[in-house]
């Protein structure tokens, strides 16, 4: 058993016990203290009430019946007589069980008291020295006419035996001890049962969280029977699965980066060795080999630059500097930079920009976005080797579309191509030259400009990559 005083188990258990103790204290107080002090007062009130109701009912038809009923239900004795001595009601008359206490002696005592009294009603406590029993007597008299219209004095006597409270209290106390013990035990059991039911799933969640902390991503959490704990468990399971995914992604990224870096480095190393060992004296070969080294170094440079700018974009370290510039001029100058390449390789890059649009944005970064999209289009274009760039203005937004007629992208891959280092499986073989970062950079820059981006693509027909940004 866990005795950590701060534990949920202990606290629940203690609360239940405390609750039971409080209830029992209340019961003890009410039953014993109250009974002890109030019994007499309650009896007096009850007797007075009964006597007054009798007086009120006097003269009614069912008067004698009511007297009989009251004396059997209320544990009292009623005696009513007129001043001429005729008895209207008495326990002896009505065949009640004869009073077990000193009824006749008491009656006489109270009759005397009433005769002496100046005002009515009177109440007398009749004490019995031989037994513990006392009797509370209440007496009053009224003037009433009989059937012949003659005035009579009618005297009412109500006797209420007072039982010794002490013995009752003794019995109650005895019972209460058992009740207290049973209710304490019961509350303890209930507390333990409830705390077990709440604490166990929490304990299990803690165990699973420890597993997660030890690196076992994908651990599932089980929450038991309470909605709140089940929600917590579900959230943790979700977190754990997300962690697993992101961990796998990180591993992929590491594998990709090291692969991407290793290939050009191996090339640089092997060509350098070749120059040292073989082609050093042959200027033609040496130059060709040196060119490979330069190309690979360029590629490394490109890769490292892409990585740097992406990480700066994603950590928010890169800020955009907006300035108004002409989109048409920018696009023309980009297309111009591909002129020699297009001529040599047989590509055609067509620009469709009917109006001159001025946009307030970071020109350098928008240029990078367009260049990345053109590079991709060139890389993945179809046999027609054609790339179409179209720029339009609509609703205060300038929209760029870069279209190719290449192999397109499978629908299930589309949502992933914007992720870092993602290379679509269909294009993987052809994209050894890509870094897998181009589209992530496009996405980050467009988002930094508060714009939108997307792609419409059909496998076998080609793709149109688009983005739009506000002109202001
Ligand atoms: P990469 O350097 O591999 O091109 P990107 O982030 O630019 O990296 O592109 C991610 C992936 O998206 C590419 O590997 C390719 O599979 C797919 N892709 C991008 N542009 C096109 C395109 N125009 N046509 C078909 N697939 C494309």
pLDDT in tens, 74-97: 778 888 888 887 888 887 765 555
Burial of 107 (0-12, 13-18, 19+ CB in 10 A): buried
pLDDT of 109-161, one tens digit each? 888 888 888 888 888 888 876 766 778 888 988 888 877 778 888 888 888 88
Would you state the pLDDT for residue 428?
45
Would you state the pLDDT for residue 41?
82
Protein residue closest via CA to atom 20 of ligand 1: 376
pLDDT of 46-73, one tens digit each? 888 888 888 888 888 888 888 888 877 8
Would you state the pLDDT for residue 152?
84
Q: What is the bridge-based pairing of β-strands 386-394 and 122-127?
A: unpaired
Ligand 1 center–CA 394 separation, angstroms: 27
Would you state the pLDDT for residue 99?
59
Would you state the pLDDT for residue 95?
57
Rank 122-136, 168-182, 236-250, 394-408 by mean pLDDT and report only the highest: 394-408
The token pair that represents 410 in the structure block? 């499978």
- Is residue 430 very low, low, confident or very high in pLDDT (cuts 50, 70, 90)? very low
Ligand 1 center–CA 369 separation, angstroms: 13
Protein residue closest via CA to atom 7 of ligand 1: 438
Protein residue closest via CA to atom 4 of ligand 1: 434
Output 459 or 35, whichever has higher pLDDT. 459
Ligand 1 center–CA 430 separation, angstroms: 10
Ligand 1 center–CA 254 separation, angstroms: 19
Would you state the pLDDT for residue 454?
95
Output 331 or 75, whichever has higher pLDDT. 331
Over the range 427-447, which residues count as b (16 or more CB within 10 Å of their CB) and which as e?
beeeeeebbbbbbbbbbbbbe
The stretch 171-186 carries a mean pLDDT of: 86
Would you state the pLDDT for residue 328?
95
Protein residue closest via CA to atom 11 of ligand 1: 423
The stretch 331-341 carries a mean pLDDT of: 92
Ligand 1 center–CA 379 separation, angstroms: 8
Q: How far apart are CA 236 and CA 209, in angstroms?
A: 8
Residue ranges lining ligand 1, Cβ < 6 Å = 376-377, 380, 404, 406, 409, 417, 422-424, 427, 431, 434-440, 463
Atom of ligand 1 nearest to the CA of 435: 2
Would you state the pLDDT for residue 325?
95
Would you state the pLDDT for residue 429?
41
Share of the chain above pLDDT 90, in %: 31
Atom of ligand 1 nearest to the CA of 465: 23
Would you state the pLDDT for residue 100?
56
Task: Assess whether pLDDT exceeds 80 at residue 214.
Answer: yes
Q: Which has the closest alpha carbon to 326: 299, 361, 293?
A: 361
Would you state the pLDDT for residue 426?
53
Task: Assess whether pLDDT exceeds 90 at residue 386.
Answer: yes
The stretch 220-249 carries a mean pLDDT of: 90
> Which has the minimum average pLDDT: 6-10, 224-228, 351-355?
6-10
Would you state the pLDDT for residue 432?
46
Atom of ligand 1 nearest to the CA of 431: 3
Task: Assess whether pLDDT exceeds 50 at residue 431.
Answer: no
Task: Assess whether pLDDT exceeds 70 at residue 105.
Answer: yes
Protein residue closest via CA to atom 25 of ligand 1: 408
Task: Assess whether pLDDT exceeds 90 at residue 191.
Answer: no
The sign of the CA dihedral 93, 94, 95, 96 is: negative
Share of the chain above pLDDT 70, in %: 93
Protein residue closest via CA to atom 16 of ligand 1: 424
pLDDT of 276-316, one tens digit each? 998 878 888 889 989 989 988 988 888 888 888 888 887 77
Task: Assess whether pLDDT exceeds 50 at residue 23.
Answer: yes
How much is the mean pLDDT over the chain?
A: 85
């Amino acid at each position: 058993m866990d005795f950590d005083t701060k534990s949920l188990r202990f606290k629940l258990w203690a609360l239940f016990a405390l609750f039971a103790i409080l209830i029992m204290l209340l019961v003890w107080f009410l039953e014993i203290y109250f009974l002890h002090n109030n019994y007499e007062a309650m009896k007096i009130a009850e007797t007075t009430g009964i006597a007054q109701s009798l007086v009120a009912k006097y003269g009614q038809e069912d008067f004698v019946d009511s007297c009989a009923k009251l004396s059997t239900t209320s544990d009292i004795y009623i005696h009513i007589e007129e001043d001429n001595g005729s008895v209207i009601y008495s326990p002896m008359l009505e065949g009640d069980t004869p009073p077990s206490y000193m009824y006749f002696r008491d009656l006489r005592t109270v009759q005397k008291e009433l005769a002496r009294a100046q005002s009515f009603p009177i109440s007398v406590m009749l004490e019995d020295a031989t037994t513990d029993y006392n009797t509370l007597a209440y007496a009053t008299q009224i003037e009433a006419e009989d059937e012949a219209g003659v005035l009579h004095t009618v005297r009412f006597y109500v006797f209420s035996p007072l039982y010794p409270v002490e013995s009752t209290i003794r019995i109650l106390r005895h019972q209460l001890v058992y009740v207290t013990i049973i209710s304490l035990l019961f509350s303890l059991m209930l507390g333990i049962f409830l705390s077990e039911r709440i604490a166990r799933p929490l304990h299990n969640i803690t165990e699973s969280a420890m597993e997660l902390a030890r690196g076992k991503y994908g651990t599932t959490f089980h929450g038991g029977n309470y909605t709140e704990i089940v929600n917590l468990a579900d959230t943790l399971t979700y977190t754990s699965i997300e962690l697993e995914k992101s961990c796998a992604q990180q591993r992929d990224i590491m594998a990709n980066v090291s692969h991407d870096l290793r290939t050009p480095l191996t090339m640089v190393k092997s060509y350098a060795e070749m120059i040292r060992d073989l082609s050093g004296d042959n200027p033609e070969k040496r130059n060709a080999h040196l060119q490979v080294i330069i190309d690979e170094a360029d590629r490394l440079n490109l890769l490292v630059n892409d990585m740097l700018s992406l990480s700066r974009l994603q950590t928010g370290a890169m800020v955009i500097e907006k300035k108004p510039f002409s989109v048409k001029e920018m696009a023309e100058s980009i297309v111009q930079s591909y002129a020699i390449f297009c001529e040599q390789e047989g590509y055609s890059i067509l620009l469709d920009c009917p109006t001159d649009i001025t946009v307030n944005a970071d020109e350098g970064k928008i240029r990078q976005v367009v260049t990345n999209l053109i590079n991709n289009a060139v890389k993945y274009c179809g046999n027609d080797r054609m790339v179409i760039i179209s720029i339009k203005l609509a609703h205060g937004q300038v929209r760029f579309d870069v279209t190719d007629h290449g192999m397109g992208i499978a629908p299930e891959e589309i949502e992933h191509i914007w992720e870092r280092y993602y290379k679509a499986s269909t294009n993987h073989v052809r994209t050894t030259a890509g870094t897998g970062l181009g589209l992530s950079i496009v996405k980050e820059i467009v988002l930094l400009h508060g714009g939108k981006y997307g792609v419409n693509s059909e496998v076998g027909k080609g793709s149109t990559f688009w983005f739009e940004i506000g002109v202001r």
